[in-house]
A and B are shown apart, each in its own frame.
Chain A
Amino acid sequence: MKLLKLTLDNFRAFYGRQVLELDVDDDKPTVLVFGNNGAGKTTLLNAFTWALYGTFSADVEQQHRVVHDQKWADTGFGEPVSASVKLEFEHDGTIFAVLREVSVVKDADEQGPVTPRLVVTEVRRGESHQVPNGQDRIEKILPEALRRFFFFNGERMEKMFTAEENNGEVKQAIKTLLGLEAIERAINDHLPKAARRLAKELGKDGGTRLQQLRDDQEQLEQRQMDTRERALEVSRDISSYKAQVEAMERALRDNEQAAPLQKERQRIGKQTADEQVRLQERLARKRDLLSKGGFLAFTGGVDETVIDLADGMRRRRELPAGIQRDFIDGLIEEGRCMCGTPVAPGSPAFEELDKRRYNAGLADVEARWMYVSGQMKHLGDARRALLEELRQSAEDMQACEDTIARLDAERSEVDRQLQGVDVQDVQRLEQNRKEYDEKRIAAMSEHRRLEEIVAELDLEIEKVKRRFRSAEAADEESRRVQQQVNLVNEVLDAFSEVLEVKTEEVRLRLDAKVKEVFSRIYIKSHTPVLTPAFELQLTSPAGVAIRSTGENQVLGLSFVGAVSELAHEIHERKNNNSEEILDEGGIYPVVMDAPFGSLDLTYQEDISAALPKLTSQIVTLLSQSQARGKVMEHLQGAATRMYVLRSVTPNRDAAEETIEINNRTVPYVTHGDFERTLLEEVTV
């Protein structure tokens, strides 16, 4: 497929007829289209796919407004109005013109949804014919499933291989593009059905050897089909579990940022709780101190008074020290003093002893006083100790309160940092991940078992086929049917073997191509790998790389380039060998909006140098900011044609702008009566 011309008539932002010539020289495969934001680059990209498939990409807003707004406004009620896109291209020696058009009679202020009309014409040997089923023809030339490889927005390219559901589509698209889908359909569906249909001619009574073998084969094939269906269901389960595991892993990875903060918050929470317990303990201790010795705080002065009083009494001999009363009692009882003087009752000695006995009685009082005064000294100590303990307790409680206040501040900071982070319970996530992974492993085990059954049935079927092939036919008619079935089976067996060989060959060639293209663009030591399951991975020395947006973009571009190159090579091989029945391939253009996405300047430069080598025709839509310095140099060097999407605006406040192309100043934004975009070719 080689693009020749795109003609827009009142199509969305493009007023009137705007033409984009697309034919390019072999050594300059690029058509550059510059446009500022909102000028219509995305619309132009969509014009190609709308013409071919009648649909817009999801990022196009107000898809029902196909007719240019001014054109619609200028049309009177009841008058016809139309908009169209015509894409002319050459494919396998035939020129095609695909015209998609909406044509309505205006009956409302606003445009409503309209089904566009498609007309496909082909010019062969100078004669033009309308193709009866145009959409089918387009599908044969470039199936819609492949549009993602050839008409795309660079900013969305990173998503090409990121979504799980994309893998199957990508794999199938590769097979379609490289000619493997046709042989796959023949093997899996049409040849076995043809063999069965032919074998039915053997009759149904089941009495002959061939009939028996045919019935055996049918039964085995039915069992195999049922097992395959079950395997397919299990395979879907595996994909679903895998997606769940990956989602949990992503959430856990997201939580890697939150996890340390969460741990920190947990630590702070625990410390705060501990500190609150400690504070309560210290409050209880204080209460205990006050309940048991709180009175001491009010005894200040009492102790000194008691001590002074006791000392005064001692000094006044009111508290005589010495002999105990029971000793004097003993002397009086004996009637003699310890000095030998008789102490008869009534005698002066007796009187003296009796007096002493009285005073000796006061000794206990003195002892009590002594004790009390001693206690009074302790009371002071106890009061001082109490006050010290209360002071210490107050200090401890203050320390607790200070710690709690500090922890509160720390938690507040952690909370602030956790704001906006999807905080989830890491343990719950991990538990879910584990559960889904266990389910996935169990399903994989069942899938392997089912595959083994399918393989065993394959062997059984093969045996029955061999027997059928060599079985003796009962009559001429049976022999003829046997011969027909054998012929179909011969092709079927060969195709099965060929598909295996070709699939691996295509994968290895594509893998090598992707590596080659990727290394031309990307500086890191990452290596793309196309796995046996046709999944595109990026590996680093540490294993499978976690791809950044930029890496996904480069990977996507490399893949598109590799697929284009390989399709081209296979197509060339087919052209050089007319006997080749399997190779397909083709030449495909690439139309890309914002080829650099959000890549750094270094990559922009590398990609701008690599782009022209990706395929034989590349239409690049880009803004002025994406085309400076070396990038512009590389792109211009490979361009056959250059266009500017000139934005015309009635807004006189908006500044008019120009763009420098080939040292020429070209209008980029100009003032006018109404909003529209003009497609203007710039001399290269």
Chain B
Amino acid sequence: MSDQRTAEAILGALSPEAMKLAKNVMGLERENLHIKNPTMLVQKIVDATRELTK
């Protein structure tokens, strides 16, 4: 049996808040993929993080 971890297993090991943040980040990244330097993206991640740690 391979000891290689799968992407699903890696993500599955995240805490519930981290999983939510991961989904959020991926959504934002896809949304802004065509923009070279999206101005608001980092702030949106910061806001999402703050929201999750309230």
User: Which residue numbers of A lie inside 8 Å of B, CB to CB?
Assistant: 136, 139-140, 143, 176, 181-183, 185-186, 190-191, 193-194, 197-198, 480, 483-484, 487-488, 490-491, 494-495, 497-498, 501-502, 505, 581-582, 584
Convert B29-54 into 0s and 1s, putting 1 for each residue whose CB lies closer than 8 angstroms to a CB of A.
11101110000011101100110110
Task: Tell me, in angstroms, the Cα distance from A502 to B22 when the chains sit together.
Answer: 16
B33 near A495 with CB under 8 A, answer no
User: Closest approach, in angstroms, between the C-beta of B16 and any C-beta of chain A?
Assistant: 11
Known: A197-B46, A487-B18. A191 touches B25 (CB 8 A): yes
Q: B10, B29, B35, B41: which contacts A501 (Cβ < 8 A)?
A: B10
Residues of A within 8 A of B25 (CB): 186, 190-191, 491, 495
B46 near A198 with CB under 8 A, answer yes
A-B contact count (CB 8 A): 92
Known: A190-B42, A197-B42. A484 touches B10 (CB 8 A): no
Residues of B within 8 A of A502 (CB): 7
Task: Tell me, in angstroms, the Cα distance from A448 to B39 when the chains sit together.
Answer: 34
Q: What are 24 A-B residue pairs whose CB atoms fall within 8 Å in the complex? A: A139-B34, A140-B31, A143-B33, A143-B34, A176-B33, A186-B25, A190-B25, A190-B29, A197-B43, A198-B50, A487-B18, A487-B52, A487-B53, A491-B22, A491-B25, A494-B14, A495-B22, A497-B5, A501-B4, A501-B6, A502-B7, A581-B22, A581-B26, A584-B30
Known: A490-B18, A491-B14. A193 touches B26 (CB 8 A): no
Measured CB to CB, the nearest residue on chain A to B42 is A193
B23 near A581 with CB under 8 A, answer yes
A501 near B5 with CB under 8 A, answer yes
B22 near A190 with CB under 8 A, answer no
B53 near A484 with CB under 8 A, answer yes
Residues of A within 8 A of B10 (CB): 494, 497-498, 501
Measured CB to CB, the nearest residue on chain A to B23 is A581
Given A490-B18, A491-B18, 11 more A-B residue pairs with CB atoms under 8 Å apart are A139-B34, A185-B33, A191-B45, A480-B53, A484-B50, A487-B49, A491-B21, A498-B7, A501-B5, A505-B7, A582-B7
Measured CB to CB, the nearest residue on chain A to B5 is A501
Residues of A within 8 A of B14 (CB): 490-491, 494
User: Closest approach, in angstroms, between the C-beta of A166 and any C-beta of chain B?
Assistant: 21
Of A176, A190, A484, A502, most B-chain CB atoms within 10 Å: A190
B17 near A487 with CB under 8 A, answer yes
Measured CB to CB, the nearest residue on chain B to A498 is B7
Residues of A within 8 A of B49 (CB): 194, 198, 484, 487-488
Residues of B within 8 A of A582 (CB): 7, 11, 26
Of A139, A181, A182, most B-chain CB atoms within 10 Å: A182
Measured CB to CB, the nearest residue on chain B to A185 is B29
Residues of B within 8 A of A490 (CB): 14-15, 18
Residues of A within 8 A of B18 (CB): 487, 490-491, 494
Task: Tell me, in angstroms, the Cα distance from A41 to B45 when the chains sit together.
Answer: 47
Cβ-based interface call for B1 (8 A): no
Measured CB to CB, the nearest residue on chain B to A480 is B53
Measured CB to CB, the nearest residue on chain B to A140 is B34
Task: Tell me, in angstroms, the Cα distance from A579 to B37 when the chains sit together.
Answer: 28
A140 near B33 with CB under 8 A, answer yes
User: Closest approach, in angstroms, between the C-beta of B32 and any C-beta of chain A?
Assistant: 8
Instruction: Count contacts on B: residues with CB < 8 A to the other chain.
Output: 32
Task: Tell me, in angstroms, the Cα distance from A539 to B51 when the chains sit together.
Answer: 53
B45 near A190 with CB under 8 A, answer yes
Measured CB to CB, the nearest residue on chain B to A583 is B7
Identify whether the interface residues of B are mostly helix, strand, loop, or mixed.
helix
A183 near B33 with CB under 8 A, answer no
B34 near A136 with CB under 8 A, answer yes
Task: Tell me, in angstroms, the Cα distance from A243 to B41 when the chains sit together.
Answer: 38
B33 near A181 with CB under 8 A, answer yes
User: Closest approach, in angstroms, between the C-beta of B23 and any C-beta of chain A?
Assistant: 5
Of B10, B14, B23, most A-chain CB atoms within 10 Å: B10
Residues of B within 8 A of A484 (CB): 49-50, 53
Q: B4, B21, B30, B45: which contacts A182 (Cβ < 8 A)?
A: B30
Task: Tell me, in angstroms, the Cα distance from A179 to B46 when the chains sit together.
Answer: 23
Known: A185-B29, A194-B45, A491-B25. A498 touches B11 (CB 8 A): yes
Residues of B within 8 A of A480 (CB): 53
Residues of B within 8 A of A198 (CB): 46, 49-50
Task: Tell me, in angstroms, the Cα distance from A485 to B7 when the chains sit together.
Answer: 23
Task: Tell me, in angstroms, the Cα distance from A502 to B8 when the chains sit together.
Answer: 10
Measured CB to CB, the nearest residue on chain A to B18 is A490
Per CB-CB distance, the 6 closest pairs between chain A and chain B, nearest first, are: A139-B34, A182-B29, A194-B45, A490-B18, A193-B42, A498-B7
A487 near B26 with CB under 8 A, answer no
User: Closest approach, in angstroms, between the C-beta of A196 and any C-beta of chain B?
Assistant: 9
Task: Tell me, in angstroms, the Cα distance from A480 to B21 when the chains sit together.
Answer: 16
Residues of B within 8 A of A491 (CB): 14, 18, 21-22, 25
Residues of B within 8 A of A186 (CB): 25-26, 29
User: Closest approach, in angstroms, between the C-beta of B25 and any C-beta of chain A?
Assistant: 5
Residues of A within 8 A of B28 (CB): 190
Of A136, A139, A191, most B-chain CB atoms within 10 Å: A191
Task: Tell me, in angstroms, the Cα distance from A182 to B33 when the chains sit together.
Answer: 6
Of B6, B21, B23, most A-chain CB atoms within 10 Å: B21
User: Closest approach, in angstroms, between the C-beta of A241 and any C-beta of chain B?
Assistant: 29
User: Closest approach, in angstroms, between the C-beta of A611 and any C-beta of chain B?
Assistant: 30
Residues of A within 8 A of B23 (CB): 581
Task: Tell me, in angstroms, the Cα distance from A505 to B9 when the chains sit together.
Answer: 14
Residues of A within 8 A of B21 (CB): 487-488, 491
Residues of B within 8 A of A136 (CB): 34-35
User: Closest approach, in angstroms, between the C-beta of B22 and any C-beta of chain A?
Assistant: 5
Residues of A within 8 A of B4 (CB): 501
Task: Tell me, in angstroms, the Cα distance from A155 to B3 when the chains sit together.
Answer: 46
User: Closest approach, in angstroms, between the C-beta of A525 and any C-beta of chain B?
Assistant: 30
User: Closest approach, in angstroms, between the C-beta of B5 and any C-beta of chain A?
Assistant: 6
Measured CB to CB, the nearest residue on chain B to A196 is B42
Of A197, A487, A491, A498, most B-chain CB atoms within 10 Å: A491
User: Closest approach, in angstroms, between the C-beta of A567 and any C-beta of chain B?
Assistant: 15
Measured CB to CB, the nearest residue on chain A to B22 is A491
Task: Tell me, in angstroms, the Cα distance from A505 to B2 when the chains sit together.
Answer: 14
Measured CB to CB, the nearest residue on chain B to A577 is B8
Task: Tell me, in angstroms, the Cα distance from A186 to B44 when the chains sit together.
Answer: 12
User: Closest approach, in angstroms, between the C-beta of B44 and any C-beta of chain A?
Assistant: 9
Task: Tell me, in angstroms, the Cα distance from A488 to B43 when the chains sit together.
Answer: 13
A494 near B13 with CB under 8 A, answer yes
Task: Tell me, in angstroms, the Cα distance from A498 to B23 when the chains sit together.
Answer: 13
Residues of A within 8 A of B15 (CB): 487, 490
Task: Tell me, in angstroms, the Cα distance from A584 to B30 when the chains sit together.
Answer: 9
A194 near B42 with CB under 8 A, answer yes
User: Closest approach, in angstroms, between the C-beta of A577 and any C-beta of chain B?
Assistant: 9
